Amino acid sequence: MDLKLTGQVALVTGAASGIGQHLAQGYAAAGAKVVVNDINADGVAQTVDTIKAQGGDALGAPVDITELSAVEGMIADATKAFGQVDIVVNNAALLTEHTLYLETDPASCEREIRVILFGTMHCIRAALPGMIERNHGKILNIATDAARVGQEREANYSAAKGGVISFSKSIAKEVGRHNINVNVLSPGATNSPMRIGLQEGLKEKLGEERWLAREEKVKRLYPLRRIGEMEDISNTAMFLTSDVARHITGQVLSVNGGFAMVG
Burial group, residue 129, by CB count within 10 angstroms (0-12, 13-18, 19+)? exposed
Q: 116 and 144 share a domain?
A: yes
Q: Does 263 reside within a domain?
A: no
Q: How far apart are CA 181 and CA 168, in angstroms?
A: 10
What is the per-residue pLDDT for 247?
98
| Active site annotation includes 157 | yes
Q: How far apart are CA 99 and CA 26, in angstroms?
A: 33
Q: Does 107 reside within a domain?
A: yes
What is the per-residue pLDDT for 43?
98
Q: Distance between the two ends of the chain, CA-based, in angstroms?
A: 28
Q: 134 and 150 share a domain?
A: yes
Q: How far apart are CA 89 and CA 256, in angstroms?
A: 19
Q: How far apart are CA 105 and CA 62, in angstroms?
A: 27
Q: Does 164 reside within a domain?
A: yes
Q: How many domains does the chain have?
A: 2
Q: 233 and 141 share a domain?
A: yes
pTM: 0.94
Q: 47 and 35 share a domain?
A: yes
What is the per-residue pLDDT for 163?
97
Q: 176 and 200 share a domain?
A: no
Q: 116 and 236 share a domain?
A: yes
Q: Helices (H), strands (E): how many in the chain?
A: 10, 7
- CATH code for the domain in which residue 101 is found: 3.40.50.720
Q: How far apart are CA 60 and CA 45, in angstroms?
A: 6
Q: 234 and 136 share a domain?
A: yes
Q: Does 202 reside within a domain?
A: yes
Tens-binned pLDDT, residue by residue, of the chain (263 aa): 789 999 999 999 999 999 999 999 999 999 999 999 999 999 999 999 999 999 999 999 999 999 999 999 999 999 999 999 999 999 999 887 778 899 999 999 999 999 999 999 999 999 999 999 999 999 999 999 888 888 878 889 999 999 999 999 999 999 999 999 999 999 988 888 877 777 888 788 888 888 888 889 888 988 999 999 999 999 999 999 999 999 999 999 999 999 888 86
Q: Does 3 reside within a domain?
A: no
Q: 153 and 233 share a domain?
A: yes
Q: 152 and 206 share a domain?
A: no
228, β-bridge pairs:
190
Q: How far apart are CA 203 and CA 209, in angstroms?
A: 9
List 27, 101, 157, 222, catalytic entry:
157
Q: Does 180 reside within a domain?
A: yes
- Residue 199: domain span: 191-227
What is the per-residue pLDDT for 89?
99
